[in-house]
Amino acid sequence: MTFQAASRAVDTVLDRSVVLGFSSVGPAVRRRLPGWPADPASGSLTGKVAAVTGATSGLGLATARGLAALGATVHLVVRDEEKGRRVRDELFAAVPGASVVVDRCDLGDLDDVRDLGERLAGGLDRLDVLVHNAGAMPSERTESPQGHELTMSLHVLAPVLLTDLLAPVLTDGARVLFVTSGGMYGQRLVEDDLEYERGDYSPTTAYARSKRLQVELLPLLQRRWPSTSVYATHPGWADTPGVQTSLPRFRQVMRPVLRDADGGAETTVWLAATDPAPEGGTLWHDRRQRPFHLLPTTRPRLGAVDDAWAWVRAQADLA
């Protein structure tokens, strides 16, 4: 067996074990294996413009910091404008010479998303990187102002709508990245109950179902925005404010091996800047393309993804 083949085998074992691959053990081992992809070149995003949703803490903040450090002008898309300004000032201090702009938007409200999309499309000459990171895990079933189950609206409808609105300023070769979750590996696409209207509501299940739909839609979204490269990245298990608030027991047990936020955002930043761009419509973790499914039971039935896409288009009022 060659060194490269052995490296791939070790990487696959880490990935399929979940605990080792998703925890801080994964990158600690993978970085030492032959074939670990090179870091983006210093200044590789100079002159480019990026937007990151949910950018005031956790993975979003780490992503914004990483993109700014590579030279990008970064738009922080935030719900709390005052907090966004504080984070902007922190980034100025952390990344000398950084160019950071704050844009307010409640991504749980599709009307607000439309307003943001129109403002950015009218005010920007270009957008090279768009990172859909904003997320939530409400403790009970919650609806958006438009009446949609909140996790599905926030994680699927809002990002798809915003990208469509920004299509006129997305440059040739722009990167569109959905920050998904490894939790989606445990869920199948429930295309006939996307709003979680049946059964007892589970916050973790709702969250994972919405992330499952993100991943299943990747090939379709790549075809819709063919001049871009569309990806999803899953961060593994990272010690973020969202995990601390929504999954306190999980954090208590796993805290010694959780990644920090920079570790969780690392592949997102790498994909935004690496050259040449890898194949789009794909899922990534620790700088490698990953399968959509680890279990045969999560594979969608024939036509399910098309049905779900028709629902997304209708709810987001896409042509």
Helix axes 261-273, 58-69, angle to 10 degrees: 50
**Burial level of 278, CB count in 10 A (0-12/13-18/19+)?**
middle
- Helical (H) or strand (E) element with 285: strand 282-285
Tell me the pairing of strands 49-53 and 282-285: unpaired
Determine contact, residues 112/105, Cβ cutoff 8 Å. Answer: yes
The full DSSP string for 159-176 is HHHHHHHHGGGEEEEEEE
- Residues recognised as catalytic: 207
HSE value, Cβ hemisphere, 13 Å, CA-based, for 60: 25
What beta strand segments (E) does 84-188 contain? 99-104, 127-132, 170-179
> Which is nearest to 270 in space by CA: 41, 48, 10, 8?
41
> Which is nearest to 76 in space by CA: 64, 66, 90, 92?
64
- Amino acid 219 reads P
What's the N-to-C CA distance of the chain in angstroms? Answer: 51
- Amino acid 97 reads G
Long-range contacts of 277-280 (CB under 8 A, 24+ apart): 277/173, 277/175, 277/229, 278/229, 278/231, 279/229, 280/218, 280/222, 280/228, 280/229, 280/230, 280/231
DSSP letter assigned to residue 145: T
